A and B are shown apart, each in its own frame.
Chain A
Amino acid sequence: MHRDSDRHKLFSRRAAILAGGKALLLSTLIGRMYYLQVLEARRYKTLADENRISLRLLPPPRGRIADRFGQLLAVNQQNYQVVLISEDVQEKRRSLEETLDLLKNIIHISPKERQRILREVRRRRGFVPVTVRENLNWEEVARIEVNAPDLPGINIDVGQSRFYPHAEVMAHVLGYVAAVSEGEQSGDPLLELPGFRIGKAGVEKVYDLALRGKGGSLQVEVNAIGRVIQEIMRQEGLPGAEIRLTVDLELQKLATRRLDGESGAVVVLDISNGDILAMTSSPSFDPNAFNKGLSTAEWKALVSDNRAPLINKAIAGQYAPGSTFKMVVALAALEKGIITPSTKVFCNGSVKLGNAEFHCWKKGGHGAMDLKDAITQSCDVYFYETSRRTGIDRIVAMALRLGFGMPLGFELPGEGGGLMPTRDWKQATLGQPWQQGETLLAGIGQGYLLATPLQLAVMAARLIKGDNVVPRLTRRIESEEWGMEEEDSEFASLGLNPQHLELVRNSMAAVVNDPFGTARKARIKQPGFEMGGKTGTSQVRRISKAEREQGVRKNEELEWRLRDHALFVGFAPLDEPRYAVAVVVEHGGSGSKAAAPIARDMLLEAQRRRSGAPPAPKQVADRLSAPESAVDGRDLRRENG
């Protein structure tokens, strides 16, 4: 017994040590718990919240764009798309393949699309919706809804997508929106949202920031794999600004119609304030296609079309101004006192300069011409002589004052500056000295000279009004953040002699209305609506001496790309001119035949729309439906009185 009691004693001693050891270890546990749950609790609470709370961006609705009367040009449309949630498909014990096969009987899914869908499903978690197809029409939505019980995991999702109701009519002005590319990421988290679109051209691009708005935020509770459990907080963002353009949709439609089948551009502007009433480039494209995403083939077709449908020719097309430039030469010479209104030049059909001979378009010549006659009949010899006497430097100086030679700083991207060549320019770019023959060519708007249709319209506006008219495209930008922007333009005078301007104006009136005028066939006959203008035909090929001897080939005999460009600049009405127009029809033949009738229609319609009953917009935007601006109201009263 004593032996066991020894063992018991030893055991008890050691058990006490063991108990002490265990107590020590348990104390470390308690100490650790205290450290984690009391001392560090705050830090870990933050970490736990970071774990469970996920911040999501809510895309704001993109601002709408309307014409000057509130007709909507760019809106947001509900975009129905089919999405597939693979987790829900599998829940019903059906394979993805089977479901897609069933779906294929209802809506079209190409084998390529099918591949993409399967790939995305594999890459993403089961609860993340994968887009099967976007932009469903109502019929397709209905068919899917009807079959919903047979299609577990297939849902219809509603998103917003940009829609241009007048598609081709406004394409070049509005531009289009498309998915954000890698290089366009600017740090704005909105741009990283899948499916987010930004403006890629036109107004959509220039005012993208205003149109975009500010994203809202959504706090959601998520679990470890990212599934949303519940919404915690929602903060709506700022919708994008609404933009009102100066453009008149009806004029725009008319211009599009008139240019149909041609390649060219029309610009109509309000001389009084620089408002662009119409700006059309033909052929056009459907901007809605960009939003949906173009196929490679469609894109290639657009890019390789030699009529360049993607280019806004009104601002980016550069053409030799031809005879429309003669007013510039006339003003340069008048202002410098090199000619007077009565100065006469005899036109016998050509001018010799050294070995070269410069021909007038009229083979036999016009005879004795003063300035008004020369403009009316577009006599080339008169302007060869005048420009020779004036010199290229003075001509170019006047051209620059009238808006040529450099971009006008217009609101749309991609504006061309045209080209007004000087001695320095030629030396610098071609390394050759200026030739006097080139001055002569410049006198009839040929040679190195280039101008955009917008510049031509601005030239017309400036020399009719005598002011430094600057074109503008937007009337108002409305948003909570941007405030409201609207100012009426007050232009500085160009400082030209009013008598010289009047002479040029009268000459232009004669071009259309005089029996000898080159554009007489295109005159406006309604009294009070008459227009003035100037035709232009710019050569795109060189006419060889041999050809001239055999007789110059007619445009109709040439292939399209070798035909002359047809140009026309004009204004109306003759009393108190209000509208300026420029028309360029690429390879259209002669300005009087191809361009002048279009200009006539534009000017007539512009005047009719102002003097007639105010247009009743069929579809007026709620926020843009405020009464027309005071400017127009006042003008209407004055017009009526």
Chain B
Amino acid sequence: MSIESFSRPQLTLGQKLWSIQWFFVLLLCVTAGIGVAMLYSAANGSFDPWAGRQLVRFGVGLGAMIVIAVIDIRLWLRYAYVLYALVLVLLIGVDVMGTIGMGAQRWIRLGMVTIQPSELMKIALVLALARYFHSGSIEDIGRIRFLMPPLLMVLASSALVLRQPDLGTALMLIVAAGVMFFLAGVRLWKFWTLGIAALGALPIAWQFLHNYQKQRVLTFLDPERDPLGAGYHIIQSKIALGSGGLFGKGFMAGTQAHLNFLPEKQTDFVFTMMAEEFGLVGGLVLLGLYVLILAYGFAIGLRCLNQFGRLVALGVTTTFFLYIFINIAMVMGLIPVVGVPLPLISYGGTAMLTLMAGFGFLMGCWVHRDVLIGRRGANDDL
């Protein structure tokens, strides 16, 4: 690690911009456009208070994404750990002095802005793990001792998030990290072993869950148990979805959403509102857009000539996928309500910026797909 050598940028800014997948950007815009439309509907036909702000945030996110994409990927590689450490400090900060909202301590004030470090961690952890595995050979990865530092990174971050408490984000961090371990080549039996061990630890973990989290799990297992309390959300969400039918009730005509039977329609349950107003067809169109975005992620990852880029691309893609899956499965009553937004659609600034930053790194991987990076971060180590 003594000599960190970077090759001179082989690409000019113009070339980089030219090489950005503009069709992919268009996909993001279309998806976010749908989101703005849904937020417009959620406010009963008004840009205020959600749709307008969401549009601005997407614009800012789009800018950030392009900036991140054109910055040399080796620079990101170089500062991956620093970034991770910074976010980790923020997470500790949340633990010590964060603001409490909706029963959990997730936000921290930094000057003018309030941010949610757990969201940032989703990207920071991907970058850090990608850098770590980039540096290891196949043989290294076979050694358990080699796997300890990244495991520690995952545990440290997810434990802090769990303390907030935010079960959904913690699970997302662990699953995304697991996927990266898997992609890096960690043997399958190790996953099995860990999986079985985790299953054994489940009863112990149950003890550490907060009451409301236990409630959520129990409610998930039997939503009718408490139809007016915790189960209410999921029952109303299913009614909204089901009553939407094949073609939906029409834009701004969802009764469940507009008569407020559907809770949190602008955030966690935005998919339900969309499916109520546009039916199965509308839901499938959105899923189709998501699949295209995911396909781009996979294509970029597979095309990358450097391991860092590959891992970052699929790490980001997986995080994106987890948002989609957890949110939609949650609103349809397949998994407990864990409070994960629907990417690009749900109202929320931090999630939007995290995602757009993630897409920035993904696009960065594409722009720098042919850059060869040595295991120690230099391209002359071939």
Contact = CB atoms under 8 A, between A and B. Distances in A.
Interface of A: 1, 3-4, 6-8, 10-12, 14-15, 18-19, 22, 25-26, 28-30, 32-34, 36-38, 40-41, 43-45, 47-49, 51-52, 221-225, 229
Given A8-B305, A33-B332, A37-B280, 17 more contacts: A6-B138, A7-B185, A11-B185, A11-B307, A11-B310, A25-B325, A33-B275, A36-B332, A37-B246, A37-B275, A44-B242, A45-B242, A48-B240, A48-B255, A51-B236, A52-B255, A52-B259
A378 to B, nearest CB: 78
Contact of B242 (A8, A37, A223, A225): A37
Given A11-B310, A18-B314, A18-B318, A222 B259 contact: yes
B294 A22 contact: yes
A34 B185 CA distance: 36
Interface stretch (B14-22, B213-221, B283-291): B283-291
Contacts of A7: 137-138, 185, 307
Given A26-B291, A32-B332, A224-B261, A48 B239 contact: yes
Given A3-B138, A12-B302, A18-B179, A41 B259 contact: no
Contacts of A49: 243
Q: Max chain A CB contacts within 10 Å: which of B243, B258, B280, B287?
A: B243
A14 B321 contact: no
A596 B243 CA distance: 80
Given A33-B280, A33-B284, A34-B280, A15 B314 contact: yes
A27 to B, nearest CB: 10
B298 A44 contact: no
Contacts of A15: 183, 298, 301-302, 310, 314
A15 to B, nearest CB: 6
Interface in B241-260: 241-246, 255-256, 258-260
A37 B277 CA distance: 12
Contacts of B242: 36-37, 40-41, 43-45, 47-48
A229 B259 CA distance: 8
Main secondary structure on chain B at its contact with chain A?
helix
Interface string B305-342: 11100110010001001001100110010100000000
A107 B238 CA distance: 51
Given A1-B382, A29-B332, A52-B255, A44 B185 contact: no
A309 B258 CA distance: 58
A41 B182 contact: no
A18 B325 contact: no
A26 B287 contact: yes
A36 to B, nearest CB: 5
Contacts of A25: 321, 325
A29 B325 contact: yes
B279 interface: yes
Contact of A14 (B183, B245, B246, B329): B183
Nearest to B334: A32
Contacts of A47: 239, 242-243
A36 B329 CA distance: 12
A37 B255 contact: no
A33 B286 CA distance: 12
A48 B283 CA distance: 19
Contacts of A40: 242
Contacts of B244: 37, 41
A49 to B, nearest CB: 8
A423 to B, nearest CB: 70
Q: Max chain A CB contacts within 10 Å: which of B239, B261, B275?
A: B239
Nearest to A22: B321
B242 to A, nearest CB: 2
